[in-house]
Amino acid sequence: MPSLDIAAGESLHYEYDAPGAAGATFVFVNALAGSTATWQHQEIGPVLRAAGFGTLCWDFRGQGQSRCGPATELSPRVVVEDLRRLAAHVRPPRPILVGLSIGGLFAAQGHLAGVPAVGLVLVNTLRKPGPRLEWINQAVVALARAGGTRLVARRLVEAGLIHGGAPTVSGRTLGEEAAEAAETPELPLEPANGNGHGDVHDAVPAGRTAKFAAIQNQEDAPPCSTCGSIMVRSGSCYKCVNCGSTSGCA
């Protein structure tokens, strides 16, 4: 597969198929935990190409097969700059930017920064940030540090934050993949293995265990007695991230 070299030890993996009769190219921008596999699903990339469209999908630095250096600070600005860099390198005809989740924000920012586009498609792009979303963002980063993407999928399914019956690009459900993950060693994300994103590249503290209780200072928080969801520490109490109930207040 082709890659665009950026610097020593840093490159962008991408997969490009030129358009046919339709003449336009769908340029995909991943979600935070995504990869090119999302867009190469049999009902996305192949269907578009069969209809005469081109496709360009790529991994952010630190995602999938893209590489990043240990000193690189991965940020939204870097993602947008890399989108501009890749678009200038490939020059896909009549690009249609498609962003999934936070990728929609990156796609919009990329277009405002000069990435050409004849269309902009936002798929489940983030709404206004709030306490629940902020907690999920912090939880995902902490889980990835502790046990990699398998631990992220496993714990978010268990917590009910994502639906266990939802399909994945492998054709199995998230619940099935989470069950497999329970039997698979959970490895921290490291810059050298090409996985992860953002500050999940931080070194894993010595002795840190790969379990959900490692999220910041929420060790051993009990489940919510009202709805069964996750409780996080709020002052001297535990507060449910779903229904807002509190318990254990001093």
Give the per-residue pLDDT at 138.
Answer: 77
CB 140 within 8 A of CB 33: yes
Give the per-residue pLDDT at 222.
Answer: 62
Give the per-residue pLDDT at 79.
Answer: 93
Give the per-residue pLDDT at 41.
Answer: 92
CB 195 within 8 A of CB 62: yes
Give the per-residue pLDDT at 109.
Answer: 93
- State CA 143 to chain mean position distance: 13
Give the per-residue pLDDT at 8.
Answer: 87
Give the per-residue pLDDT at 7.
Answer: 87
Residue tagged 């578009």 (tokens):
48
DSSP H helical ranges for the chain: 36-39, 45-50, 76-90, 102-112, 131-158, 174-182
How far the first Cα of the chain sits from its last, in Å, is: 58
CB 15 within 8 A of CB 57: yes
Q: What are the average pLDDT values for consecutive 10-residue runs of the chain, which has 250 residues?
A: 88 96 93 89 94 96 87 86 97 96 92 95 79 73 70 62 46 51 44 34 31 36 66 68 71
Give the per-residue pLDDT at 39.
Answer: 95
DSSP states along 124-162: S---S--HHHHHHHHHHHHHHHHHHHHHHHHHHHHTTSS
Contacts 24+ apart (CB under 8 A), 175-182: 177/153, 178/153, 178/154, 181/150, 181/151, 181/153, 181/154, 182/154
Q: How far apart are CA 118 and CA 94, in angstroms?
A: 6
Give the per-residue pLDDT at 131.
Answer: 75
Give the per-residue pLDDT at 201.
Answer: 29
The closest of 141, 142, 171, 173 to 157, measured between CA atoms, is 173
Query: With 0-12 CB in 10 A as exposed, 13-18 as middle and 19+ as buried, what is 134?
Result: exposed
Name the pTM for this structure.
0.59
Do strands 231-234 and 119-123 pair parallel, antiparallel, or not at all (unpaired)? unpaired
Give the per-residue pLDDT at 10.
Answer: 92
Domains belonging to the chain, first-starting first, are 3-123 (3.40.50.1820), 131-216 (no CATH), 218-250 (no CATH)
In single-letter form, the type of residue at position 230 comes to I
**Radius of gyration for the alpha carbons in the chain, expressed in angstroms and rounded:** 20
3-state secondary structure at position 246: strand
Give the per-residue pLDDT at 208.
Answer: 30
Give the per-residue pLDDT at 69.
Answer: 85
